[in-house]
Structure 1
């Protein structure tokens, strides 16, 4: 028996880029905001404007089931591809391509009715078969999607007609709508999704110049509200200083997330720019390979955590910005617990733990370090701190592509630095096959049980318990929570300001007429 159904309610792009490059920024008042988006309703805007977004995160490919990295979420999530449900910039789950849903009384069957009249960029209509195909791309054995484990309770997907999808579960999954917000709906006839796309979103891919830029042009046949601009170009940089200079010179309109804190003052005190502080879910992480010695020893992991002065690190990089965290869970998650006192900075205690673990004279390990800011700086800081307890750190600088292949896929590492951007991603510690190899059966059971919870209070209690155990195990070393600072030309408004999952919705961005 089912419950009540709930209703929810030179290409042209290249020419626009050329015109947009000649526009000078308008001078508006400086604003510092903590809202979810910046708006200037009274200003007239150009509905065909080209918006250039500066970013440090170029995708490795265009398929988020193939380990494309956070850059593809930034550019494509909600812009090119849509999901059954949408995770808003404020962190709320709202209907996307779903018009209505019903849930059986036992919580094991979800029935989704699709929005009518939705078409892919190729012109093909959206059908239930496309939804089934898209979900199975994530859950299939060879999928590299980080959400594969979260959707493992799906036992079958049925498509009784073109507008109806029935998802059957082997166990209750209270987070199913949330988890489905990560599943891009793609045309089941699409080919080579590593280098092309066929989504339903408000933009279509115009051009991807690897190593340089990715251009999206407005989808004039979009089923929903039309974008407030004509084109968006993500311009990629490997150096934060170069990115800041691009904004200063007008080469880009927006920086999605400032990575060079020393530069903020030059924008904050300049009326030609807007500096906006939002909420972040991005954690800077020293991840151990918990499968291999010496990091399979909890005392070694705890010793390293105590030997690193996280507060000094955060201040040295971000000054007054950013937040200390004692676990993988940021304050915006419902199951946050303040665990900053667990394995707090204490060099003498670190030395004692190393002695107990059999490493009184220290040891040497290799730290695989992504080559973009702030990771090299963080690596050098860790190297200096751990030298005080006789641990030698060999810094191995690698590219994002190398990190994905060596660390994420092959698990061929001792320790690594990485920023993890996802919202509610404590579930990764319940997956022993995840790249860091943490495996505590009690945590696995708690995270699994939290999904079968009858209500959110029960879910929250179980995840708080799991979070505390993970911290006590020093499964990783959570160095700090990034600040989320977006800087733009004062001529543009309407952009998202929270760093949720690294997504950057472009469809509401407006550029004032010149």
Structure 2
């Protein structure tokens, strides 16, 4: 998110990531020429993770087609990937990385330090459009003394520098169109992308590491959870990447399916644009937060799953603090704050809401809650493209619902 917006947090951190498998899938996947069909609600906006690709591009290509110097395991441990070794100077300002030998891009070009430098600068340069640019402000210079060595000098020590590198994809510096084409080093390469339908990956037979067990992966994109779930029920897909509500799980509780639970960093947040009235008044923002019963909201969307956090920091972040006690549910206080702000009779605002679950259900609950204090919410359902262009890029909104999936992103929110 860009600076200049205050965040009223609905307070739901999805502490579980639910992936569902049809148990018949492994029999098919045993064949070296097998295709694994995956259902998802998150189609990429484009294929460039530094230019608004959204969470869909990470889901499809991260670790599959593109790799970094390091990778982050499911347990949060940083492991070497395209970098085999690193040395840090005594003052903590200079990092020297040794690159893995024999790594080739899908186009056949050998990966060198020039590609690593290009990829780091694609994020850290002054004209970079990457959302992670602020995490690399400490990068002072990048040198490439030889094809296998990269030297990065920082302007100040950074405890998170190596960790942040896990999010940087190493891209071919000779490539031209990152938004629509792919040329990574991963075990799968892009075969075809039919916008609005499917994204297909095929095994990279020249992969430097362990070869994938199956030949092809096809992501099938759906616009709603019902269609996604039905695809798994009918065998159209083998896996779906998420369950959008606890109610959906009941239909999969049989020996025919496997539900995989895991930690998630996804935060569902209610965002106010503090550049426009009435959200430029802190009393109004506090009033809305106090008027929403987050416990009931969580129960209505996720039942026994999920965690209230009271902020934009997930429990997996090292600096997490439970802030659910700040601005707790208090309808009387909400009305008092509105009156003090000059809105005793309430007001009306538009809530731009992504079309996919759980946003519509959360928005409907919030609308009902705020009606109790005299506030009228007009829910405006928007596509991913509309949200990205109007809300994220143009800041043309009063309030919006949105999931944020990144961890350790407190600097994005805290940047004044």
Aligned pair 1:328/2:305, yes or no? no
What is the match of residue 150 of structure 1? Answer: 135
Aligned pair 1:162/2:147, yes or no? yes
For residues 32-82 of structure 1, give each alpha carbon's deviation from its aligned partner in whole angstroms, at most 9, with x where no partner exists: xxxxxxxx9x99922332111100000011001110100000001111000
Aligned pair 1:136/2:121, yes or no? yes
Aligned pair 1:189/2:174, yes or no? yes
Q: Of 102, 119, 143, which aligns to 1:117?
A: 102
- The alignment's TM-score, normalised by the length of structure 2, stands at 0.92
Structure-to-structure mapping, 1:420-431, within 5 angstroms:
420-431=404-415
Aligned pair 1:68/2:59, yes or no? no
Q: Is the 8 A contact 1:27 1:271 kept in 2?
A: no
Structure 1 distance, partners of 2:183, 2:338, is: 53
Q: Is the 8 A contact 1:370 1:399 kept in 2?
A: yes
Aligned pair 1:94/2:94, yes or no? no
What is the match of residue 35 of structure 1? Answer: none
Q: Of 326, 330, 347, which aligns to 1:346?
A: 330
Structure-to-structure mapping, 1:33-48, within 5 angstroms:
45-48=30-33
Per the TM alignment, residue 181 of structure 1 is displaced from its structure 2 partner at its CA by: 1.0
- The alignment's TM-score, normalised by the length of structure 1, stands at 0.75
Q: Is the 8 A contact 1:364 1:394 kept in 2?
A: yes
What is the match of residue 7 of structure 2? Answer: none
Aligned pair 1:178/2:163, yes or no? yes
What is the match of residue 245 of structure 2? Answer: 260
Q: Is the 8 A contact 2:119 2:171 kept in 1?
A: yes
Change (3 A) 1:189 1:169: same
Higher strand residue share? 2
Aligned length: 395
Aligned pair 1:416/2:385, yes or no? no
Structure 2 distance, partners of 1:60, 1:163, is: 33
Structure 2 alignment gaps of length 5 or more = 1-21
What is the match of residue 203 of structure 1? Answer: 188
For residues 428-459 of structure 1, give each alpha carbon's deviation from its aligned partner in whole angstroms, at most 9, with x where no partner exists: 1122xxxxxxx3xxxxxxxxxxxxxxxxxxxx
RMSD: 1.7
What is the match of residue 271 of structure 1? Answer: 255
Structure 2 distance, partners of 1:63, 1:379, is: 30
Q: Of 356, 362, 387, which aligns to 2:346?
A: 362
Q: Is the 8 A contact 1:139 1:152 kept in 2?
A: yes
Aligned pair 1:310/2:271, yes or no? no
Structure 1 alignment gaps of length 5 or more = 1-24, 29-39, 432-438, 440-514
Structure 2 distance, partners of 1:146, 1:309, is: 32
Structure 2 distance, partners of 1:109, 1:293, is: 47
For residues 261-306 of structure 1, give each alpha carbon's deviation from its aligned partner in whole angstroms, at most 9, with x where no partner exists: 21211111x2111012211111111011123322222221111111
Aligned pair 1:301/2:294, yes or no? no
Structure-to-structure mapping, 1:273-288, within 5 angstroms:
273-288=257-272
What is the match of residue 14 of structure 2? Answer: none
Structure 2 distance, partners of 1:192, 1:134, is: 14
Q: Of 370, 383, 392, which aligns to 1:386?
A: 370
Structure 1 distance, partners of 2:205, 2:392, is: 38
What is the match of residue 464 of structure 1? Answer: none
Structure 1 distance, partners of 2:351, 2:221, is: 26
Q: Is the 8 A contact 1:138 1:148 kept in 2?
A: yes
Tell me the SS of whatever aligns to 1:53.
strand
Tell me the SS of whatever aligns to 1:382.
helix
Q: Of 215, 219, 232, which aligns to 1:230?
A: 215
For residues 111-167 of structure 1, give each alpha carbon's deviation from its aligned partner in whole angstroms, at most 9, with x where no partner exists: 111001111000100000001111111123443321111111111111111111111
Structure 1 distance, partners of 2:122, 2:23, is: 45
Change (3 A) 1:218 1:178: same
What is the match of residue 221 of structure 1? Answer: 206
Structure 2 distance, partners of 1:386, 1:67, is: 32
Structure 2 distance, partners of 1:64, 1:43, is: 32
Per the TM alignment, residue 27 of structure 1 is displaced from its structure 2 partner at its CA by: 5.4
Q: Is the 8 A contact 1:241 1:260 kept in 2?
A: no
Per the TM alignment, residue 221 of structure 1 is displaced from its structure 2 partner at its CA by: 0.5
Structure 1 distance, partners of 2:129, 2:30, is: 41
Q: Is the 8 A contact 1:281 1:422 kept in 2?
A: yes
Aligned pair 1:397/2:397, yes or no? no
Q: Is the 8 A contact 2:23 2:258 kept in 1?
A: no
Tell me the SS of whatever aligns to 1:354.
helix
Q: Of 46, 53, 73, which aligns to 2:38?
A: 53
What is the match of residue 247 of structure 1? Answer: 232
Structure 1 distance, partners of 2:34, 2:411, is: 40
Q: Is the 8 A contact 1:157 1:166 kept in 2?
A: yes
